[in-house]
Structure 1
Amino acid sequence: MTPPRPPLPDAPAIAFLASKAEGAQLALAELERAYGRVAPEDADVLVALGGDGFMLQVLHRHGALGKPVYGMKHGGVGFLMNHYQRDTLVERLHGAEPAVLRPLEMLAQTESGTSTGSLAYNEVSLLRQTRQAAHIGIDLNGKPRLDELICDGVMVATPAGSTAYNYSAHGPILPLGSSVVALTPIAAFRPRRWRGALLKSVTEVRFRVLDPYKRPVSATADSHEVRDVVEVTIRESHDRTVTLLFDPEHNLEERIMAEQFIA
């Protein structure tokens, strides 16, 4: 179990980070005038201004600092963000509820023999690069489980990412803290009725591209793409966590729960 984070100081040092959108940049200037400017490495908390895509960028760039991150929506999709409000920010930070996320680690091997590692807070997905369907074998903890999946692609999604691409591909929504990941096919052709699987988060998943030259496949960890992969291994990170902060009335766990009751 991850130890609880220490409480924020009464007057926390806040590093503001903003997407390139005009509204986010205006909010950045407004907040820095009100609360000052601090570098991320010197801050007690990071405040991200933008949408979910920008939040993922912040987690990838600054997650290793171990600072809690509070997002405020100034973009398109804001599932990971709180509502924007300038004047009560410090009070909201002190009252915010934490959500601890543990990302996936992806190791992708390519046709050229290179190996590329990356983290994914939402999902790792494999997708066909041409008009021809991908042929992929699936091993779990070193044991073959599916000899050949013919599909447009396949993914492994975390609970935090289960309401994103995974849900669009008809995968299940996972409760936060469930220690489960979703293995979800994308437009599976064979086995035609295979709907995917729920796996313990400690499961090591290995995808084998069975015909990489005729049917090339790319792998993407959140937004980091690696093309022409021949094998992709995915496991939960053992040593990396990030803490997101949410207003109590609309925390991440409640949002994930609410998504399951939307008609």
Structure 2
Amino acid sequence: MSQTPRISFLASPTDEAQQALAALTAEHGACAPADADVLCALGGDGFMLQTLHRHGALGKPVFGMKLGTVGFLMNHYRPEDLLDRIAAAEPAKLRPLEMLALTESGASIGSLAYNEVSLLRQTRQAAHIQIDLNGETRLDELICDGVLTATPAGSTAYNFSAHGPILPLGSHTIALTPIAPFRPRRWRGAILKADTEIRFRVLDPYKRPVSATADSHEVRDVVEVTIRESRDRMVTLLFDPEHNLEERILSEQFMV
């Protein structure tokens, strides 16, 4: 990164974020993401995920500032010392999950997930799902509302709400968590090595249809979903040292 970084400011469509975008570009100038040294995302966690999906392939670090409802992946909005904050920021490197979903129609659809991949029942009837790990069946039939796989960065979100574990950043693990499981009653999920290949097979998909969602990308009527950590894609988020992502994840485990 150059001494005075070229910053590409990206903002959610809310009035507050758009006003911040206008003020920051007036002070620091406008720059296209491909030409920037760092991306600055203005919004909430949803917009941060949108930024990573749209521009993650560029390999540019992203410094987010919270101007939205949820800001776990964001820094506080404080525009006056932005250059100093970026210079002092601590990086957090994240690998997304790769999802490959096969549908009833025979389509094969791929997507990335920086938070989680979740399978959910589409109708009033519970889903019946078989779980294979690295080609070996580990659970013949999970009867549930759904099941999800979460990264460490995403483990504090939907995964934690479903009573899944919070994973330390850099632990090279992923969470496998059932959503409202009915059978087997005592199975509460697993913590897996990050390089584990997970395959969900939907049993009786016509009577009990299931959808798969990678972050916000939904695929309906899936029959099989394969998930693995990406070997090719990595993104870098920048955080203020006093409140970096590793500390946030740790703090979540002591909230009462």
Answer whether TM exceeds 0.5 for this pair. yes
| TM-score (structure 1 length as normaliser) | 0.97
- Deviation per CA, 1:9-61: give whole Å up to 9, x if none: 21100000000111000000000000000000000000000000000000000
User: Is residue 168 of structure 1 aligned with residue 144 of structure 2?
Assistant: no
What amino acid is the match of 1:85? R
What amino acid is the match of 2:176? L
Q: CA deviation at 1:103?
A: 0.4
Where structure 1 has 5 or more consecutive residues not aligned to the other structure, the ranges are: 1-7
Number of aligned pairs? 256
Q: CA deviation at 1:216?
A: 0.1
- Indicate the SS of the match to 1:261: coil
| TM-score (structure 2 length as normaliser) | 1.00
Q: CA deviation at 1:86?
A: 1.2
Which of residues 224, 237, 240 is equivalent to 2:230? 237
Rounded Cα–Cα distance in structure 1 between residues aligned with 2:47 and 2:80: 23
Q: CA deviation at 1:107?
A: 0.1
Which structure 2 residues correspond to residues 148-187 of structure 1 after superposition, within 5 A? Answer: 148-187=141-180
Rounded Cα–Cα distance in structure 2 between residues aligned with 1:52 and 1:106: 21
Residue matched to 1:4: none
Residue matched to 1:18: 11
Rounded Cα–Cα distance in structure 1 between residues aligned with 2:174 and 2:235: 17
Residue matched to 2:208: 215
- Runs (4 or more) in structure 1 with deviation over 3 Å come to none
Where structure 2 has 5 or more consecutive residues not aligned to the other structure, the ranges are: none
What amino acid is the match of 1:240? R
What amino acid is the match of 2:198? V
Which of residues 60, 63, 86 is equivalent to 1:70? 63
- Indicate the SS of the match to 2:79: coil
Rounded Cα–Cα distance in structure 2 between residues aligned with 1:52 and 1:78: 5
Rounded Cα–Cα distance in structure 1 between residues aligned with 2:197 and 2:157: 22
User: Is residue 50 of structure 1 aligned with residue 33 of structure 2?
Assistant: no
Deviates further, 83-92 or 100-109: 83-92
- Deviation per CA, 1:84-105: give whole Å up to 9, x if none: 1111000000000000000000
What amino acid is the match of 1:33? A
Rounded Cα–Cα distance in structure 2 between residues aligned with 1:119 and 1:86: 31
Residue matched to 1:191: 184
- Deviation per CA, 1:123-170: give whole Å up to 9, x if none: 000000000000000000000000000000000000000000000000
Rounded Cα–Cα distance in structure 1 between residues aligned with 2:15 and 2:204: 45
Residue matched to 2:115: 122
